[in-house]
Structure 1
């Protein structure tokens, strides 16, 4: 697993985790924000009126209402990213990472507006009479110009559709069940594979019903789960009300300098916070990824811009509201930089060939250089000696980017975990899995993802019951995301291979859902970053190429709107 994670991390470093990808995402959002005159501000009120159905026409073509399309798209975005993704971003980049998530969301409101409008404009009807849409259809049907020569980019649509199938696993499937299983295990000690098996069966029953069953489920799940999570988050924030103002200040104070060491957190520089914040922002609201346009394509509308207006609301609800709430929970509770007793994933463990003390400033700086700046570090290689569960060699165990304390190595005997005596093979700081007895490392360290949010939610007047809100909220959030993304994969499969192959895709989707429930979390997040980037890049290229058509489409919308609704107020 460690070797697999190393390979995936290397690939991700050149794509989703690279600086150029982050800048591409922000550039497209900033460009269209200026090019279209800040539509996320000017059209926001109008978008609220559109989603209520105020300007609907009888007989509009589509399979879902504006609200149902929004709920389906939100159920695809409001998920692990809002609970585990925010926690991972702050774990890696400190409070400043949340600032970059918010910047990504603000610019992403325009990006969503553009991609949904263009995709809705070129949607089609498949051979079963259902609406099919998404970036692959505007790539296939729109006329692009290279110089003065008009061309079609059907090949780019095929690339995007294939990337969508991959990302349906990397975004909507694997991270969702992985975080659900972790949270359920933390709350109820139910084995991860058991959670995965039960939910995989339920998932299969839902997605076999197609889009009409999906929208009926999501329009009921989304409002309820949002209210539950909102109330639970407020309970934590107001219990720790004295930390609200300092938490807000911490989000903005270190934006351009990085976050200094605090508690078990060893620090992060500007580049680290920026990169992780933007990446987790994209994972959370998917603006620019091209996923939401697939859901919005099913909306009933006689023209495309109104549905683009509805899409403006998604990053606002998903990231600016829900992710900010999660961030304030993590920061005001102080959970983000505290160490907790946990079981270590081998993919998160490094065994250093020297003893470090985090209370020693020189040692902290050396670890900071290694973890944040990528400096070389002497790693332990050889047989690690364990006596009654305790490591006797002069080493430092780093777990989740923090010095692990009170480390115990246990082995399973007769169904129970007991202290181990013997040796463990380690190569270049990594435990060699399968070379000896199956042992597990436990101790106190920082935690991340959904597990961190679970600990934070306990720090309110609800006490231990707070973890139930995270578990139930994550179950609803993440499961609805998995449902919606199965539909995105369906549409991409239809585009590439035809409707007859959808059943095979759904079977693979359910199998992957089950397997990911007990796969190491770090591998899941790394794979997710790769697939998101592969899907996002062709979509960003496509919408930028059609910038002139987008501007003309919006201009014509307001002309037609004024004719149809002469008494309605329009944005200035």
Structure 2
């Protein structure tokens, strides 16, 4: 077994190095820059509008939070956000940030911000395309995601039918694989390690209990997952942010030095032995971007699969929830985590060297312990439990949709059973291998999705302009709501013309 895992690790390292090389990072950030420019910096120019229609709508618009009926297979906008955030706000916000600082220095946080800023519009574009190209299955459930806008959007372009279908299948395969990595084993492993460290609970016991709990929720389908995450996500996010803010406030005198260290480290100005680290900027960029994507998942095409199940009709409305998702995940939660670590004296702000022997979530736990004492490590262990378990629930839906696209809805029960079983494996496997596998599958999943988003960037631009003209500028123009509706209308016109 040891030899097998060694081979898997060697192969994974080779693939991971290729997947997360410079071309991939250029593709990832380049897509976000392209969509930002085509939508005229929508995340900045219409900041007040998307804030008012997302988080603001929770308190003012009943339609945002209203639950659908038992017979209705749709979920509310707020439920779709919570399920998506359940999958994104996970160990990446705690362990991922700590790993980025340890490997890439404080400067990695700057590049995490860059990825998030442009990633807002990548996620926006994915959700716009997801709503626009979604379709109903035989149970009248909405099915949307990269596989559908690749096959029906890219595939509809002249000479692209075959490549659209192939990319849709590849995305679905990578999605299923990624669900076992980032969405299962990596998360469960972090829970097991922290529960063992903080409370002495054996890994297998943690894995078994979580397997049972996951099975009870996941088998119930999307509406049960949404019902759980709707309650769990706001609670866990608020509690963790309050705890991290307390650490930051206690160490507020260090904030100037922390920010300076982030900026200097981002451009390779970290001094070591009187000189400048030549590879500092490369490591900061690579780890900041890798962990940024791991955290907010912009570019993976993952969260669009649950956003597409929303009861919303306007593609841009759900796109704005995608902007808020990345903003909340990285700009808020990841940033607070980073400042908690860097202001706690655990990192040399001049050289970027980690002074503690702890790594991953243990580094964050030590930062919290500087303020809360022994309670700090217990607090992080519980936070990881809620964060990571909710991520497992969200990703089970993503993998299920990918499996459904490949093998049909009736066979998705088989996927759910295997997914739940892998919870035990994740709890007992090596942490490093779990994270490396997650990075590899993330990158492989992102490639076909980003190709689709870039190829359909013109469609996103038209839909966004149409929305801005109607809803913001007050112009009397016809809405672009659904590609299926347009196809049906064209067909109806052809029938009418033939009859007449």
TM class, shorter-length: 0.7 to 0.9
Paired residues of 2:347 and 2:356 also in contact (CA < 8 A): no
| Cα distance in structure 1, aligned partners of 2:456 and 2:17 | 29
1:13 aligns with 2:17: yes
The SS at the match of 2:266 is coil
Aligned to 1:213: 224
Paired residues of 1:78 and 1:285 also in contact (CA < 8 A): yes
> What's the offset of the Cα at 1:164?
0.6
Which of residues 402, 422, 425 is equivalent to 1:492? Answer: 402
> What's the offset of the Cα at 1:518?
1.8
Which stretch has the larger CA shift, 318-327 or 61-70?
61-70
C-alpha offsets along residues 500-522 of structure 1, whole Å, 9 cap, x if unaligned?
Answer: 21121111111212111121111
Aligned to 1:99: 110
1:456 aligns with 2:367: yes
| Cα distance in structure 2, aligned partners of 1:70 and 1:41 | 20
Which stretch has the larger CA shift, 161-170 or 247-256?
247-256
C-alpha offsets along residues 535-565 of structure 1, whole Å, 9 cap, x if unaligned?
Answer: 1000000010011111111122234436989
Paired residues of 1:73 and 1:295 also in contact (CA < 8 A): yes
Aligned to 1:335: 346
> What's the offset of the Cα at 1:154?
1.9
Distance verdict in 2 for CA 1:14–1:41, change over 3 Å: same
Distance verdict in 2 for CA 1:150–1:478, change over 3 Å: closer
| Cα distance in structure 1, aligned partners of 2:160 and 2:414 | 37
C-alpha offsets along residues 213-245 of structure 1, whole Å, 9 cap, x if unaligned?
Answer: 111111111111011101111222222233222
> What's the offset of the Cα at 1:445?
6.8
| Cα distance in structure 2, aligned partners of 1:565 and 1:555 | 11
| Cα distance in structure 1, aligned partners of 2:291 and 2:19 | 14
Distance verdict in 2 for CA 1:304–1:332, change over 3 Å: same
The number of residues matched between the two structures is 459
Paired residues of 2:39 and 2:465 also in contact (CA < 8 A): no
Larger Rg: 1
Structure 1: which 5+ residue stretches go unaligned?
339-363, 369-400, 403-443, 567-572
Distance verdict in 2 for CA 1:200–1:55, change over 3 Å: closer
Aligned to 1:535: 445
Paired residues of 1:81 and 1:283 also in contact (CA < 8 A): yes
The SS at the match of 1:492 is helix
Aligned to 1:151: 161
Distance verdict in 2 for CA 1:193–1:259, change over 3 Å: farther
Structure 2: which 5+ residue stretches go unaligned?
477-500
The SS at the match of 1:542 is helix
Distance verdict in 2 for CA 1:261–1:232, change over 3 Å: farther
> What's the offset of the Cα at 1:167?
0.7
Aligned to 2:153: 142
1:25 aligns with 2:35: no
Give the TM-score normalised by structure 1. 0.76
Aligned to 2:464: 554
Which of residues 247, 259, 279 is equivalent to 2:270? Answer: 259
| Cα distance in structure 2, aligned partners of 1:336 and 1:6 | 31
> What's the offset of the Cα at 1:3?
4.5
The SS at the match of 1:209 is coil
Which of residues 250, 253, 262 is equivalent to 2:261? Answer: 250
Paired residues of 2:184 and 2:422 also in contact (CA < 8 A): yes
1:43 aligns with 2:46: yes
1:515 aligns with 2:407: no
Which of residues 375, 384, 387 is equivalent to 1:465? Answer: 375
C-alpha offsets along residues 48-69 of structure 1, whole Å, 9 cap, x if unaligned?
Answer: 3323264959999961111111
C-alpha offsets along residues 134-153 of structure 1, whole Å, 9 cap, x if unaligned?
Answer: 1111112115576x656361
When you count helix as a share of all residues, which structure comes out higher?
A: 2
Distance verdict in 2 for CA 1:286–1:245, change over 3 Å: same
Aligned to 1:237: 248
| Cα distance in structure 2, aligned partners of 1:187 and 1:276 | 27
Aligned to 1:110: 121
C-alpha offsets along residues 296-352 of structure 1, whole Å, 9 cap, x if unaligned?
Answer: 0011112311111111101110001000001011101123469xxxxxxxxxxxxxx
> What's the offset of the Cα at 1:124?
1.1
- The RMSD of aligned alpha carbons is 2.7
The SS at the match of 1:517 is helix
| Cα distance in structure 1, aligned partners of 2:454 and 2:24 | 15
Give the TM-score normalised by structure 2. 0.86
Distance verdict in 2 for CA 1:143–1:95, change over 3 Å: closer
1:280 aligns with 2:291: yes
C-alpha offsets along residues 179-237 of structure 1, whole Å, 9 cap, x if unaligned?
Answer: 11111111111111211111111111110111111111111111110111011112222
The SS at the match of 1:530 is helix
Aligned to 1:123: 134
| Cα distance in structure 1, aligned partners of 2:116 and 2:405 | 29
| Cα distance in structure 1, aligned partners of 2:251 and 2:266 | 24
| Cα distance in structure 2, aligned partners of 1:24 and 1:150 | 20
Which of residues 294, 300, 303 is equivalent to 2:311? Answer: 300
Paired residues of 2:344 and 2:367 also in contact (CA < 8 A): yes
Distance verdict in 2 for CA 1:519–1:143, change over 3 Å: closer
Aligned to 1:189: 200
